[in-house]
Structure 1
Amino acid sequence: MENLEGLEGLMQQAPEFLMTYGLKALAALVIFIVGKYFAGVAKRMTDKILTNRKVDQTVVSFVANLAWAVVFVFTVIATLGQVGVQTASLVAVIGAAGLAVGLALQGSLSNFASGVLMVLFRPCRVGDFVEAAGVAGVIDEITIFSTKIRTGDNKLIVAPNSAIMNGTITNYSIMEKRRIDLVIGVGYTSDIAKTKKVLAEVLDNNQFVLKDPGYTIGLAELADSSINFVVRPWVNNGDYWPARFEVLEQIKNALDAAEIEIPFPQMDLHVKELASN
């Protein structure tokens, strides 16, 4: 009789039990399905945004999968919480595991984050000539964790992305035009007006020097043994070095032709003959 009464009690409680926990299970299922859907949406949106920004495909794939994983983890936690599972301890375990992994991969994660920032904000691009991380050269490749830089003497330098992003980046290629800064010294006996005219003629007739913006020629310094002029023409970025070499050569030839002295360091040696006894 007691067993029958117990069974009857369970039968009476069954509808309430099913109503309570059935609704929770249904809500958990809905949360899981909706959360999984939004995880896919987050992945597709991230992929689309980064692809439209012409981000490296490796970075696109990684970040898109990371977005999906983050949304999916929150979905699982919310689902478990809905069915009555204590998620506080689960969150603590996941947090501790994430902290341990983060500490173990601190350098790699820093390089990865820096690589993503480089690709997103493009302070430098493949093919640019830069000074970064104590290295000067042309960027050959930007990977997730490092950047490959080819120096002028054809050495390949692999620099960590964090070292580049945490320092100063000097990009010589990003601007269309570039100025050549020269200091030309002439002797104190030289005529200033004549010297400026000779320098201007060189710049006016040079094939690389741009008319807009105009060049600058000015007396900059009265030095110990020379009068120093600054000569600052503008050229197209790709013509910088050929223009610099050619302008210097033409200035030397033009000053020689105009008989304008270019001083150079020299030493006068005076020998005194001592009288013999």
Structure 2
Amino acid sequence: MEPNAVTKVVTDEIGITAKFMEDLKMFALTKGIDLIEAVILFIIGYIICRYIRKAVEHILDRSSVDPSAKTFISEIIFFFCLAIVVIVALGTAGVAAGTLAAAFGGIGLAIGLGLKDNIGNVASGIFILIFRPFRVGDYIQVGGNQGTVTDIRIMYTLISTLGNQMIVIPNSSLINSVIKNYSAFDTRNLEFTFDVGYDTNLPECITLLKKLFTEDPYVLNKEDLPIYVSGMAESSIRIYVRAQVDRTKYFDAQNELYIKVKEAFDKAGIDIPFPQVVVHRAKE
């Protein structure tokens, strides 16, 4: 390359660099302060939004609002306030109102298309809070999962299992599934099927079970306790009993009643058969 050409290239590069630095300087002088103000405003606004959320949670804790709605309401208010902070910060940065509206419209459309499932979760969360198929503290079963509802949030619901595991279920999945709420009523039914041998005296066995269940403090339906022979199996006769107990004492009652029945059967000499096969030897 000729010396004049090299000199020209170097001169052009220096000119471009100088122009860039000049433009950067002008931008810093004209927009730099606005950007710094916008960033500071956003940080302060974000902190204020978090304090507002905590204040709302504190107010809701002291009010009579259903526990199911507390987290949901506080998060909705938080994101609404945060959206206002973002708009104000962008306006401070020098973004025109028309440009801001168009940008938010495009962003909203993109978010709506890309996060349609999450929007469905939000709508489902609102549905849960309005129609209340369950509340925080209820013991429910959804599909193969069951546990106590610990929190209902914008996108999902948290369930704590008896094994001390946390299950996160999207709200849209809850609405589209069959929900079995064990806490919908103050009482729950304990259903028992006891297998006894074919040589058992059934009237005496039923009398024994009826006396045992009606004297137990956990059983609430002592006057109308359903107890009857429900069927004849291959190796046993089945007796059905349905006891109504306090839902908060369901497992305690189940444990105690099973133990009492087993002890009573052993004492009365009532056989509890197990599956067995009878083999007949053919005559020679």
- Same-fold status (TM-score > 0.5): yes
User: Which consecutive unaligned segments of at least 5 residues does structure 1 have?
Assistant: 1-46, 70-90, 273-277
Aligned AA (2:213): L
1:30-60 per-residue CA deviation (whole Å, 9 max, x = no partner) reads: xxxxxxxxxxxxxxxxx9xx99864326436
Aligned-partner Cα distance in 2 for 1:93–1:159: 33
Task: Indicate yes or no: 2:180 matched with 1:166.
Answer: no
Corresponding residue of 1:229: 239
2:158 counterpart (144, 148, 153):
148
Give the SS at the match of 2:117: helix
Identity %: 34
Tell me the CA shift for residue 255 of structure 1: 1.5
Corresponding residue of 1:208: 218
The 10-residue stretch of structure 1 (257-266 or 233-242) with the greater mean CA deviation from structure 2: 257-266
User: Which consecutive unaligned segments of at least 5 residues does structure 2 have?
Assistant: 1-55, 84-100
Corresponding residue of 2:189: 179
Aligned-partner Cα distance in 1 for 2:103–2:228: 70
After TM superposition, the structure 1 = structure 2 runs for residues 1-277 of structure 1, keeping only pairs within 5 Å, are 54=66, 55-56=69-70, 58-59=72-73, 62=76, 98-211=108-221, 214-267=224-277
Give the SS at the match of 1:180: strand
Aligned AA (2:154): I
The 10-residue stretch of structure 1 (119-128 or 229-238) with the greater mean CA deviation from structure 2: 119-128
Corresponding residue of 1:82: none
Tell me the CA shift for residue 62 of structure 1: 2.9
Aligned-partner Cα distance in 2 for 1:96–1:191: 79
Aligned AA (1:107): D
Give the SS at the match of 2:136: coil
Tell me the CA shift for residue 150 of structure 1: 1.0
**Aligned-residue RMSD, C-alpha:** 3.3
Change (3 A) 1:149 1:58: closer
Aligned AA (1:185): D
Tell me the CA shift for residue 227 of structure 1: 0.8
1:77-133 per-residue CA deviation (whole Å, 9 max, x = no partner) reads: xxxxxxxxxxxxxx9999876544311110111111111111222211111111125
Give the SS at the match of 2:169: strand
The question of whether the paired residues in 1 share the 8 Å contact of 2:198 and 2:237 is answered with: yes
Corresponding residue of 2:17: none
Change (3 A) 1:65 1:265: closer
